[in-house]
């Protein structure tokens, strides 16, 4: 059947280490500094070239391989960050995405603890990103898992916020530290006043809940200027940097290659 051939192919790819991580910076608006990096997995396929995660994460979940893939990603992100720190590169925390199934059916807390022990990375260098659907399927269990993650010393962000099923009653209780506004709202905010209103409302709600607000998918200076006014904390998107391999990311961290744009000040000179 379909799954057994996919299973075979994906398993082989994990064993042959064909999955690679690219890193995209989250930029602090006020200081212009890189606050953290998001690790984004790609499949470096020998014949088909670079394959993006939307094409294989779902398949890995269905075939029961998301646990293996997720552990490989977590291990690589932690190993890379530890390596940068060891070599005196000014590293920043790395954010790793957990899929819904990986969060619900695996033992995410044990996996993270074991990975930190194995790589020797300090927990303040690891962030976890979870979607609303991952935490809202069983919010009581998620609250407990999130508390154990926080007790390990990690920070958890809710990814793609505003597009899943969120219960605000649970959101206020989750021990999380940031909300990432889904890029659908960000990309439409200059065209549609309703998307602009949603972005503003999410930023304000995040702050009232003592959470940081991050906007993903920022591609234009106008979007950045809009997000600055309600006090969005961090921005991520092609305007600043595309996800890039470890080598290029290292140059960014070391300060030898700058971001494409700085969020500090603005193009109109208003500052």
Task: Provide the binding-site residues for ligand C2E, judged by CB under 6 A.
Answer: 24, 40-41, 52-54, 57, 70, 73, 97-99, 102, 129, 159-160, 183, 216-219, 236-238, 243
Among the listed residues 159, 195, 233, 250, the single contact to Mg ion using CB under 5 A: 159
Query: Which of 194, 148, 142, 192 shows the shortest CA–CA distance to 166?
Result: 142
Residue 132 within binding range of Mg ion, rule CB under 5 A: no
**How many Cβ atoms are within 10 Å of 266's Cβ, its own excluded?**
14
Contact between 70 and 128 under an 8 Å Cβ cutoff? The reply is no
* Least distance between ligand C2E and beta carbon 271 (Å): 24
Residue 234 within binding range of Mg ion, rule CB under 5 A: no
Among the listed residues 61, 76, 129, 132, the single contact to Mg ion using CB under 5 A: 129
**How many Cβ atoms are within 10 Å of 61's Cβ, its own excluded?**
18
Comparison of 173 and 220: residue with beta carbon closer to ligand C2E: 220
* Least distance between ligand C2E and beta carbon 88 (Å): 27
* Least distance between ligand C2E and beta carbon 98 (Å): 6
Comparison of 129 and 233: residue with beta carbon closer to Mg ion: 129
Would you call 21 helix, strand, or coil by DSSP? strand
Residue 127 within binding range of Mg ion, rule CB under 5 A: no
* Least distance between ligand C2E and beta carbon 80 (Å): 13
Comparison of 160 and 250: residue with beta carbon closer to ligand C2E: 160
Contact between 190 and 222 under an 8 Å Cβ cutoff? The reply is yes
CA distance 197 to 183: 14
Contacts (Cβ under 8 Å, ≥6 apart) of 197: none
Comparison of 156 and 224: residue with beta carbon closer to Mg ion: 156
Size of the site for Mg ion (CB under 5 A): 5
Pairing of β 34-45 and β 19-28:
antiparallel
Would you call 132 helix, strand, or coil by DSSP? helix
The residue with its CB nearest to ligand C2E is 237
Contacts (Cβ under 8 Å, ≥6 apart) of 247: none
CA distance 190 to 208: 25
Burial (CB count <10 Å: 0-12, 13-18, 19+), residue 19: buried
* Least distance between ligand C2E and beta carbon 33 (Å): 18
* Least distance between ligand C2E and beta carbon 94 (Å): 11
CA distance 60 to 73: 13
For residue 219, the partner it binds in Mg ion, ligand C2E, none, with Cβ less than 5 to 8 A by kind, is ligand C2E
- Only one of the segments 18-26, 48-56, 89-97, 138-146 lies at the binding site for Mg ion (rule: CB under 5 A); that segment is 89-97
Contact positions toward Mg ion, by CB under 5 A?
A: 97, 129, 159-160, 216
């Amino acid at each position: 059947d379909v799954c057994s051939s996919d299973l075979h192919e994906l398993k082989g790819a994990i064993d042959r280490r064909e999955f690679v991580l690219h890193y995209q910076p989250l930029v602090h608006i006020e200081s212009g500094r890189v606050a953290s990096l998001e690790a984004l997995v790609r499949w470096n396929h020998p014949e088909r070239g670079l394959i993006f995660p939307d094409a294989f994460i779902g398949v890995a979940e269905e075939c029961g391989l998301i646990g293996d893939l997720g552990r490989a990603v977590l291990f690589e992100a932690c190993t890379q960050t530890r390596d940068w720190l060891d070599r005196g590169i000014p590293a920043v925390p790395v954010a790793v995405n957990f899929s819904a199934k990986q969060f619900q059916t695996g033992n995410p807390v044990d996996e993270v603890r074991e990975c930190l022990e194995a790589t020797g990375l300090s927990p303040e260098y690891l962030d976890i990103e979870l979607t609303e659907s991952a935490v809202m399927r069983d919010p009581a269990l998620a609250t407990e898992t999130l508390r154990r993650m926080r007790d390990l010393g990690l920070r958890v962000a809710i990814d793609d916020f505003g597009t899943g099923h969120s219960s605000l009653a649970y959101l206020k209780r989750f021990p999380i530290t940031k909300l990432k506004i889904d890029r659908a709202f960000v990309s439409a905010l200059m065209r549609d006043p309703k998307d602009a209103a949603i972005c503003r409302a999410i930023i304000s709600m995040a702050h009232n809940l003592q959470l940081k607000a991050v906007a993903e998918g920022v591609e234009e200076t106008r979007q950045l200027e809009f997000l600055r006014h309600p006090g969005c904390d961090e921005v991520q998107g092609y305007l600043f940097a595309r996800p890039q391999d470890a080598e290029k990311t290292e140059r960014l961290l070391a300060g030898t290659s700058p971001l494409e744009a700085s969020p500090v000040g603005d193009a109109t000179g208003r500052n």
